[in-house]
């Protein structure tokens, strides 16, 4: 990978690149779908007015429609020629609104026996979608039904479509670590960023009239504390570090072992969140006969998310897993297992926030 496609990009003929780039790797083989990442982020960052429907960190069931619903069909990002792809603003309903319940009526209004809890959205309507409406549905036909979890945050892209769409210059990429931030003093709530982001990870705060998104927990990161989604993750699958740190797990997984892949690289924004694709048991026929040549999760589906190297990556993972099973050494498996927490998973961000 050339230096340019690694962490830099050309803008107006000049190479723009931050001094360093922070990145995350999510090992999808370890994700439990517990949403602790989402909750820890929510508690830390999105409890203010106008943020009730915001989930900067989500966990989607794949195959599935995602958050917002059908975001992969919305456009945004860059086409093959580097031109912006027009898109749309995802609606509150598509994200899945924050619901209100008639708790007063049911619990205190003496109607506990004649009515039941009913959610309504901000418009007062009965919702027909939510942030995890299709959780655990997945795809495939019995006996080859399958699903896996896909945690998603802002990708802090190297070529951020949001940044370049903003007419206010309110979005910037930090030089010291490549974190992409929205300056809410400059933002006027025009929402072009929400259109341009192909991953649809930007929310609109209708109370404050600004857009808001994952900030890679920069106030924590600046104090050596890992982002809350990563530190709180019970599955310990969220690696955090600098892409250029050759001793760190990020560099090992992305560049040395090359088993961590960007989501929808074809969107052209060069995301800095990478995924170790999920392995799956072999497919079986209706009589229960195993077909070891076919994985339960169709490779073509994984390729539609993580690109053409999926097969190769899964083969490396299988081979290394096999080694480990035989009692042989595997640096890759040891890295993915994370024997020592937190130093093996985010070595530069081991500070316990409780001790600050």
Partner 1 sequence: MLVKRIDVNGDVLGDPAASVWSTANGETVPLMPTPAAMQPTKYISTKWQNEVYGQTKSVSVKALRNADEIAFRLEWQDPTKNEQRIENTDFPDAVAMQFPLSEDASLFMGGEGTPVNLWYWRADHPARARSDVAHGIGTSRVMDDVSISAQAVHANGRWSVVMRRALSVTKEAASAIQIVPGQTVRTTFAVWEGGNLERAGIKAFSPAWLELEIEA
Binding site for partner 1 (CB under 8 A): 83-84, 86-87, 89-93, 95, 122-123, 161, 164-169, 188-192, 194-196, 204, 206, 209
User: Minimal distance in Å, beta carbon 84 to partner 1?
Assistant: 4
Alpha-carbon distance values, 14 to 11, 77, 89, 129, 330 (Å):
5, 20, 30, 44, 41
User: Minimal distance in Å, beta carbon 168 to partner 1?
Assistant: 6
Residues 65, 72: contact at Cβ < 8 Å?
A: no
- The DSSP bridge pattern shows strands 273-276 and 22-27 to be parallel
* Among the listed residues 130, 132, 160, the one whose alpha carbon sits nearest the alpha carbon of residue 147: 132
Name the β-bridge partners of 274: 25, 262
Query: Within 13 Å and on the Cβ side, how many CA atoms surround 175?
Result: 2
User: Minimal distance in Å, beta carbon 189 to partner 1?
Assistant: 8
Name which of 50 and 139 has its Cβ closer to partner 1.
Answer: 50
d(CA 235, CA 224): 21
Name which of 86 and 143 has its Cβ closer to partner 1.
Answer: 86
User: Minimal distance in Å, beta carbon 30 to partner 1?
Assistant: 33
Name which of 179 and 210 has its Cβ closer to partner 1.
Answer: 210
Quick one: how far is CA 8 from the chain centroid?
Answer: 21
What phi, psi does 238 have (nearest 5°)?
Answer: -105, 100
User: Minimal distance in Å, beta carbon 150 to partner 1?
Assistant: 23
Name which of 25 and 165 has its Cβ closer to partner 1.
Answer: 165
Name which of 112 and 169 has its Cβ closer to partner 1.
Answer: 169
């Amino acid at each position: 990978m050339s230096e340019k496609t690694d962490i830099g990009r050309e803008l107006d003929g000049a190479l723009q690149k931050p001094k360093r780039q922070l990145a995350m790797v999510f090992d999808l083989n370890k994700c439990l779908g517990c949403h602790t990442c989402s909750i820890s982020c929510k508690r830390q960052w999105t409890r203010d007015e106008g943020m009730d429907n915001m989930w900067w960190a989500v966990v989607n069931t794949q195959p599935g429609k995602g958050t917002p619903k059908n975001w992969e069909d919305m456009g945004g990002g860059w086409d093959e020629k580097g031109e912006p792809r027009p898109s749309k603003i995802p609606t509150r309903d598509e994200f899945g609104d924050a619901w209100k319940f008639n708790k007063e009526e049911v619990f205190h209004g003496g109607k506990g026996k004649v009515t039941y809890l009913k959610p309504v959205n901000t418009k007062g309507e009965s919702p027909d979608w939510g942030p995890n409406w299709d959780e655990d549905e997945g795809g495939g036909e019995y006996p080859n039904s399958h699903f896996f979890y896909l945690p998603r945050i802002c990708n802090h892209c190297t070529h951020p479509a949001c940044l370049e769409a903003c007419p206010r210059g309110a979005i910037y990429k930090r030089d010291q670590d490549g974190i992409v931030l929205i300056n809410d003093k400059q933002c006027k709530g025009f929402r072009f960023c929400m259109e341009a982001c192909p991953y649809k990870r930007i929310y609109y705060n209708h109370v404050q009239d600004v857009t808001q998104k994952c900030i890679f927990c920069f106030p924590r990161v600046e104090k050596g504390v890992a982002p809350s989604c990563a530190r709180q993750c019970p599955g310990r699958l969220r690696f955090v570090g600098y892409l250029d740190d050759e001793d760190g797990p990020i560099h090992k997984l992305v560049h040395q072992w090359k088993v961590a892949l960007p989501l929808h690289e074809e969107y052209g924004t060069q995301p800095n969140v990478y995924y170790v694709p999920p392995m799956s048991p072999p497919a079986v026929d209706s009589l229960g006969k195993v077909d070891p040549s076919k994985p339960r999760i169709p490779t073509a589906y994984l390729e539609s998310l993580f690109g053409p190297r999926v097969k190769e990556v899964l083969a490396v993972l299988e081979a290394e897993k096999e080694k480990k099973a035989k009692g042989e050494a595997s640096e890759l498996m040891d890295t993915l297992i994370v024997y020592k927490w937190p130093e093996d998973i985010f070595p530069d961000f081991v500070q316990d926030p409780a001790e600050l």
